[in-house]
A and B are shown apart, each in its own frame.
Chain A
Amino acid sequence: MSDVFSAAIVLAVLAPLVSVAAVGLLALLADDHPSERMASRLIGTGLMASVVASVVVLCGYGGVFGEPVRGDVEFANWLRIGNFVIPTVFLVDGISVTISLFAAILTALVARFSVTYLHKEAGFVRFFTLLGVFATGTQLVALAGALELFFAGWEMIGISSAFFIGFFHERDEPVRSSVRAFATYRFSDAGLLIATVTTFELLGSARFSAFAGAATLPAAEATAIALLFLVSAMGKSAQLPFSGWLPRAMEGPTPSSALFYGAVSIHAGLFLLLRVWPVLEVSLVARAVGVLIGLSTAVYASAVVRVHTDAKGALAHATLAQVGLILAEICLGWTTLALTHLVCHAFLRLGQYLKAPNTIHDSHRLGHAHAGHPGWIERWSPDLSARIYAASLHRLRLDDRIDVAFSPVLALARGIDRADRWLRRAVTLDGQTS
């Protein structure tokens, strides 16, 4: 049974990637693009194999085939150089099998939905290729038993997300939004990478099972690692002050918005915090910061959702409000509630996003919503209400503030570039330099 179980884990992770490689090789070596049918069938097969494999993993975990399989499942090391080892290890527990199956099913559903939705769209093959990359990324994130594997999946989710946002690249706005989202991801990913290296050095291993020893860490070091994980999760889950990229991400095709920003990717940061809970648990500072950030994001998103006039933007902020609450739940230590909330919320939002293109039709059928009576804030202080309204309209100018914060870095970069050009002109033997 253990061989079947191990094979199922490998299949769950690699089947979508193998199908992507097949489509990629066909696209690169053949003169024409693969047809829609071929691309969707190849990727669809990979996704379905991943679903079946996830079911087998769940059954193995539940003990359907005999002795339940739990804990670390080891494979040959990814790399071993002297004492340094990057293990290929997967962690099988209640959280991982739940997220693995849930992500595999949702991705396969969205793939099926997209066959019709994106029919004859110019980027059809690209969409399915990215979907395969995303599926592998989510399975790695869900099942990884060590931070290195987790980070690989995390990066794959980020890259596919950026390319999905810029999917309609003939317009400028999606491309700009894609770069902004990617920049946010990369800088929050830097937090995860630093945390990974730090964890390895302090705990002697980057395995999640090694986090059991987090209680022995000095308070300052535990807090530093926990805060780095928190920053990482905040970027991926669009928590304040990194919320600016989320409404921009709605530039992507609706099925990918549903999968990423309604269901799976937006919750990845929360999943990370559930995974590293032992280190978060011992850091009261990090937990307090997390609760504060989560609740602030929930309030912010609830205010913005009331002034949004497009369906996907409103849904994005509604999602964000719930994600903020789940973050607060995790940091308060209510991890089981948070996991349940996460999964139920993801299913609800996926349905709502996929139905978003029908909003106008539904609105006509059901009747337009009418403005309600003034709320208590408006009755209590019309001035404050107007200020909140204005702040919500321009979303606290989060993007502008981040641009301002980043402008000294750009100024420094331009200064270095000028110095470099001067140096190259000064020592060149070629007459002129670029």
Chain B
Amino acid sequence: MTNVESAQTAPWETLAVCLLLLVAPAVVSQHVFRAWHLLGLAGALVVALFASTGELAYLAVAVGAMVHALTVVRATRTGAATLAVSALAAVGVALAIRQDHMAVAFGLSCLCIALRAGVMPLHVGVASICDRLPVVQTQQLSSTIALVFVHLRFVDHHAAAVALAPLLVRYGAAATITAALMTLVQRDLRGLYRGTTAMHGGMLLAAVGAASLDNFAAALLVAVAMGLALGGLGIMITSLEERVGPVSFQGPGGRAGTLPKLAAAFALFGGAGVGLPGTAGFVADDLLLHTLWMESPTSTVTVILSSALLAVATLIAFSRVFLGRTTPSLAPDLYPRERVVVVLLLLLLLLLGFAPGVLLGPADAFLSNLPPVS
């Protein structure tokens, strides 16, 4: 396929990843979601990814955010309010694009991404969702990927994006190390998820900043890898807590003996989140570091150290939750439907780890060939 031909498939591939992340939590936790949630979100994703204008795409993003807000409002008003604010910001982007205020559009779009990805200190809403309904956070990640795609497509080609790139990269790197340090001292599983999400949010913001310098692929891959790894982790945390209740790091772990499949899946998703070789996380980290280096070597080193800290935090959490003297339990290991979800997410992580060009080639061609917006 030529570049131009392959570029046409880019939204389809991104849509496939988003839909998998959208449906996976619903398969695992069937009681949380209603059919209209899923249909509404799927519709918003399709419109956002295939829209021919920025206004329409951002309006679809706003609709998606509101559907997420409605899903979580009973569990957390903070999370719902954050999603509603991000929806307002998306509407603001649409209006700014219509008025051709591209600098405003870029700023609001970055705010939208920061709120949805949980970049510190704007992470309060996402942290609240991670605390109270982690499985919805997994689903929310699917629309965050779409949001990043829309951002790269419609507002990232403007001069303001280039001007703000150094600030975004440095801010993202600072948020990354702050979140990684915080994750290191968490005392329960949801704290780990909260911190990990905030750390990846920082990385995503840095990647979006660096994307302005024609590095669209890194930002998209970071978003996808983050979605798949954190999505899988969120599903595993939900599955574990549905079996044994809230999990603190204080008491005895010892669950690997009774829940070996869940433990293995948790380790693999946690590993993918910190760049386990062979997974999309590894390539995403590598690509991100090279792109960040062009803008700021200090930020690159900061992100590398953050990743090391998060890896240690993840292993500590794994050891406290799953290792130790086996705790007798009647809780069943992963159900078949959960295993299917785990296998699909892992296969996608591995596919993008071994052949990242499948997604990135068309996406990069698609995004790079767009004319710059004056």
> Contacts of B319 on A, CB cut-off 8 Å?
166, 169, 175, 178-179
Least Cβ distance of B212 to chain A in Å?
A: 14
Which of A179, A197, A412 contacts B289, CB < 8 Å? A197
Interface membership of A427, Cβ < 8 A: yes
Once bound together, how far apart are the Cα atoms of A81 and B217, in whole Å?
Answer: 7
The A interface, classified by DSSP as helix, strand, loop or mixed, is helix
Q: Say which one of A89-97, A111-119, A182-190, A378-386 lies at the interface with B.
A: A182-190
> Contacts of A420 on B, CB cut-off 8 Å?
120, 127, 182
Q: Which residue of A lies closest to B322 (CB)?
A: A169
B124 touches A197 (CB 8 A): no
B261 touches A28 (CB 8 A): yes
B181 touches A416 (CB 8 A): yes
B214 touches A82 (CB 8 A): yes
> Contacts of B120 on A, CB cut-off 8 Å?
420
Which of B124, B185, B304, B339 contacts A423, CB < 8 Å? B124
Interface membership of B241, Cβ < 8 A: no
Once bound together, how far apart are the Cα atoms of A159 and B188, in whole Å?
Answer: 23
> Contacts of B217 on A, CB cut-off 8 Å?
81-82
Once bound together, how far apart are the Cα atoms of A28 and B185, in whole Å?
Answer: 31
Least Cβ distance of A163 to chain B in Å?
A: 8
Query: Given A28-B342, A81-B364, A417-B182, does the pair A156, B323 have CB atoms closer than 8 Å?
Result: no
Query: Given A79-B360, A81-B217, A86-B283, does the pair A413, B181 have CB atoms closer than 8 Å?
Result: yes
Which of B121, B191, B257, B277 contacts A156, CB < 8 Å? B277
A430 touches B304 (CB 8 A): no
> Contacts of A409 on B, CB cut-off 8 Å?
181
Q: Say which one of B92-100, B140-148, B307-315 lies at the interface with A.
A: B307-315
Once bound together, how far apart are the Cα atoms of A170 and B301, in whole Å?
Answer: 37
Once bound together, how far apart are the Cα atoms of A77 and B354, in whole Å?
Answer: 11
Interface membership of A251, Cβ < 8 A: no
Once bound together, how far apart are the Cα atoms of A182 and B314, in whole Å?
Answer: 11
Least Cβ distance of A150 to chain B in Å?
A: 11
Interface membership of B13, Cβ < 8 A: no
B77 touches A429 (CB 8 A): yes
Once bound together, how far apart are the Cα atoms of A28 and B344, in whole Å?
Answer: 12
Query: Given A28-B264, A28-B265, A86-B283, does the pair A413, B182 have CB atoms closer than 8 Å?
Result: yes
A166 touches B181 (CB 8 A): no
B131 touches A433 (CB 8 A): yes
Least Cβ distance of B48 to chain A in Å?
A: 23
A179 touches B304 (CB 8 A): no
Once bound together, how far apart are the Cα atoms of A423 and B178, in whole Å?
Answer: 14
A169 touches B324 (CB 8 A): yes
Query: Given A86-B286, A197-B300, A413-B184, does the pair A428, B124 have CB atoms closer than 8 Å?
Result: yes
Identify 22 residue pairs between A and B in the complex whose beta-carbon atoms are under 8 Å apart, listed by A's number.
Answer: A27-B261, A79-B283, A79-B356, A79-B360, A81-B217, A82-B217, A122-B257, A148-B286, A152-B278, A156-B277, A166-B323, A169-B323, A175-B324, A182-B311, A190-B304, A190-B307, A201-B290, A201-B293, A413-B181, A413-B184, A423-B124, A430-B78
Known: A155-B275, A156-B278, A423-B124. 20 other contacts (CB 8 A): A28-B339, A33-B260, A79-B357, A81-B218, A81-B361, A175-B319, A175-B323, A179-B315, A179-B319, A182-B311, A186-B311, A190-B308, A193-B304, A201-B290, A412-B181, A420-B182, A424-B128, A428-B128, A433-B128, A433-B131
